[in-house]
Amino acid sequence: MLVDLLIRDVRVFNSYRKKFIDADVAVLEGKFLYIGKKDTDKLQPKSVLDGAGRYMVPGLIDIHLHIESTMITPSSFSYGIIQNGVTTIVPEPHEMANVFGVDGVKSMMKASADCAVDMFYGIPSSVPATSMETTGGEIDIQDIDELMLSGNIQCLGEIMNYYDVISAPDSKTNRILAHVRQAYPNLIVEGHVPKLLDLELQRMIYAGVDSDHTHQTVEGMEQRINAGMFVELQEKSMTQEIINYVIENDVTEHFCFVTDDVMADKLLEEGHLNQLVQKAIHMGMQPEQAIYAATAAPAKRMQMKDRGLIAPGKIADFILLDDLHGFSIQEVFKRGQQVYEKDAVKEQIVLERQFPSSYYESIKLEELKPDDFLLLNEKEESDALYRVMEIKDGSTFTTERHVRLAIEAGQVKWQEEGLALVMTAERYGKNGNRAFGLLTGDMLKEGAIATTYSHDNHNLLVIGRDIEDMVLAANEVIRQQGGICCVKDGEILSLVQLPVGGILSEAPLKEVAAQVSDLTKSIKSLGYKHYNVLMSISTLSLPVSPALKLTDHGYIRVNEGNMVPLRV
């Protein structure tokens, strides 16, 4: 029998038995045909590859991520992750949807059509995430119906406004969930349920939300699995306690690894989903279990019956490893074709102007002045109590603090208490909203940072200890039609240009990674202390991430789902 490719002498990961077997592997028309030793002589291969005893595992599958978090286009993202053994992803482009609505989703899908990595999309379900912010676009029921006709949809993306699901029966989120249950009963629904337990958690599951990818504790993970929820572990949830729990309990079918958000420099320097597999192994997980959690388990969750396994009839996406415990990738194959070789990395082909011209002109803001950053108190008083967001290294959650501040000539003297000012300005030309907040904790001690990459509304967000620096940083971002700028003492230290919708760059991955690395170092030099400074800054405006966040409408007390004033 003629076959396209025969890989001889490999140790093949059998997902059904969760063990490695010695075999030869035949590929025909992009799919696995035969895995075994006995009948290899009956095959006539067009080409033969000597496996040399290496380990063969399925291509990795990441079912929860946002390409925009890496601040690059789908083609650049594909180039970066294929080298890390990731061959299939389920991205949810709710960042582009917040900027451009359903057209942003369709533009991302169009830009990913010819990528080496298979990309099956999640429909953004929470755009905007709440009614307490201004976005450039929104997704409603009619948009979901339109996207379902595209044929490239795998799931309804994460339901983020968990507060509305359990407390507001007539909310937009519940209308969407009811529509999906009725019109698309087999559509997978992804969830975002940080810290929810007991009745509140099970009410989310009752509503149809049956997965969670947020920061896990052992108690929370056990409750989720006991109630039938699928858990997607991202790196920040990979504590030793969590890894021990999944090792010691029979939960292999109830969790997988996902990346969610990966910065460009980390993708280039450390890897992607493969890095989580490697980390799990180093933390004591058997390689077979770690591989299963990045291949077969996510494929089952997303009802992808054609991949995630090395078996007859499955798509021939696979990786060859020379070191199992180190998960050292030598070659990657997509549909039986080699797409990556460790010693022969191909240069990236850069694609420019992939998006409509309006996507490069999305910042509708005039340049700002120092007076725009004055924090005023209209009452005649010498001091007052103010709400402050406390930032802590290790989490994107914040804590609400109350600090008494002096007032002189109507101006709040926030600088004298070692605080930073944060301001967000609506940038779509819709209402001109601006709101102020205050910061303390593990954040910058000098200078300023401005960004249009601010979850999920992506309005202009500026934080700083010096108003002149804040003005300079903000205006540079406005002039560049989007980006992130770091300033100290009137000098621009670092800049990442994001001209596509204010959130993406079309520059090569290597170039964007270098810019992000430089920016991160600059921000840390200003005293910002966090495991992921860019994510910490950008989520200061995310009104579904506990506990106190700031949008252009003002302070949001996330766990209660309501707004509170800056002044206590």
pLDDT for 280-308, tens place per residue?
999 999 999 999 999 999 999 999 999 99
* Residue-level pLDDT at 184: 97
Backbone torsions φ then ψ of 294, nearest 5 degrees? -120, 5
The dihedral of CA 528, 533, 536, 538: what is its sign? Answer: positive
Please provide residue 314's backbone torsions phi and psi, each rounded to the nearest 5 degrees: -85, 150
Confidence of residue 561 (pLDDT cuts 50, 70, 90): confident
Q: Which region among 139-148, 253-262, 555-564 has the lowest average model confidence (pLDDT)?
A: 555-564
Q: Quick check: is 312 in a domain? A: no
Question: What is the average pLDDT value for the chain, to the nearest integer?
Answer: 96
Q: What is the mean pLDDT of residues 228-241?
A: 97
Q: Does the residue 454 lie in any domain?
A: yes
Sign of torsion over alpha carbons 122, 123, 126, 127: positive
Smallest CA-to-CA distance from 340 within 286, 258, 272 is with: 272
Q: Is residue 315 part of a domain?
A: no
> What pLDDT was estimated at residue 551?
98
Q: Are 147 and 115 in contact (CB under 8 A)?
A: no
- Note whether residue 546 is domain-resident: yes
Alpha-carbon 503 to chain mean position? 13
Distance from C-alpha of 33 to C-alpha of 336, rounded to nearest angstrom: 11
Over residues 264-291, mean pLDDT? 98
Q: Do 474 and 560 have their domain in common?
A: yes
pLDDT of residue 378: 81
CA–CA separation, 179 vs 174, rounded Å?
8
Percent helix / strand / coil, the chain, rounded to 5: 30, 30, 40
Burial class from Cβ neighbours inside 10 Å (0-12, 13-18, 19+) for residue 187 reads middle
72 belongs to a structural domain: yes
**Number of C-beta neighbours around residue 385 at 10 A:** 11
d(CA 259, CA 266): 12
Order across the sheet with 121-123: list the strands. 121-123, 153-159, 188-191
> Distances in Å between the alpha carbon of 73 and those of 95, 171, 373, 414?
12, 33, 33, 39
Whether residue 150 is found in the same domain as residue 219? yes
Domain count, the chain: 2
Q: What is the mean pLDDT of residues 38-66?
A: 97
Q: What are 40's two structure tokens?
A: 């290899």
First to last CA, the chain: 78
Q: What is the pLDDT of residue 540?
A: 97
Contact at 8 Å (CB) between 320 and 330? Answer: yes
Residues 284 and 369 in one domain: no
CA dist list (Å): 72 to 8, 157, 463: 38, 20, 24
DSSP 228: T
**Together in a domain, 256 and 386:** no
Q: What is the 3-state secondary structure (H, E, C) of 73-129?
A: CHHHHHHHHHCCCEEEEEECCHHHHHHHCHHHHHHHHHHCCCCCCEECEEECCCCCC
Q: Are residues 240 and 368 in the same domain?
A: no
Residue type, 44: Q
Contact present, 376 and 341 (Cβ < 8 Å) = no
Most confident option among 156-165, 371-380, 493-502: 493-502
pLDDT at residue 151, as a whole number: 83
CATH number at residue 173: 3.20.20.140
294 and 418 housed in the same domain: no
The pLDDT of 273-284, averaged and rounded, is 98
Residues 553 and 462 in one domain: yes
From CA 19, how far away is CA 12, in angstroms rounded? 8
Residue 336: is its pLDDT beyond 90? Answer: yes
Verify that 121 and 210 share a domain, yes or no: yes
CA separation for the pair 87, 72 (Å, rounded): 18
Is residue 380 very low, low, confident or very high in pLDDT (cuts 50, 70, 90)? confident
Q: Tens digits of per-residue pLDDT, 162-176?
A: 889 999 999 999 999
**Same domain? 362 vs 298:** no
- Counting every residue written for the chain, the total comes to 568
The answer to whether the beta carbons of residues 242 and 218 sit under 8 Å apart is yes
Q: SS3 for 233?
A: strand
Is there a domain that residue 65 lies in?
yes
**298 and 362 share one domain:** no
Q: Kindly give, in sequence order, each residue whose CB lies less than 8 Å from that of residue 379, ignoring residues fewer than 6 positions away.
A: none
Phi-psi region of 198 (alpha: psi -120 to 50; beta: other; left: phi over 0): left
pLDDT of residue 333: 98
3-class SS of residue 248 = helix
Q: Which of 64, 480, 20, 89 is nearest to 308 (CA)?
A: 89
172-183 and 141-148 are packed helices; what angle lies between their axes, rounded to 10 degrees? 30
Asked if 64 and 232 touch (Cβ cutoff 8 Å), the reply is yes
pLDDT at residue number 457: 96
Which residues are registered as beta bridge partners of 13? 20
Does any domain span residue 322?
no
With cut-offs at 50, 70 and 90, classify the pLDDT of residue 395.
confident
- Position 556 in a domain: yes
Q: Which domain-ending residue is among 255, 270, 302?
A: 302
- Indicate whether 285 and 375 sit together in one domain: no
Q: Say which DSSP state 430 is in.
A: S
Burial track 220-254 (b if 16+ CB lie within 10 A, e otherwise): bbebbbeeebbbbbbbbbbeeebbebbeeeeeeeb
403 and 254 in one domain? no
User: Hey, what amino acid is at 78?
Assistant: S
Across the range 180-185, mean pLDDT stands at 96
pLDDT band (50, 70, 90) for residue 89? very high
Position 283 scores a pLDDT of 98
Predicted confidence at residue 345, as pLDDT, reads 86
- C-beta of residue 478 within 8 angstroms of C-beta of residue 460: yes
Q: What per-residue confidence (pLDDT) applies to 94?
A: 94
Residue 469 belongs to domain spanning: 358-564
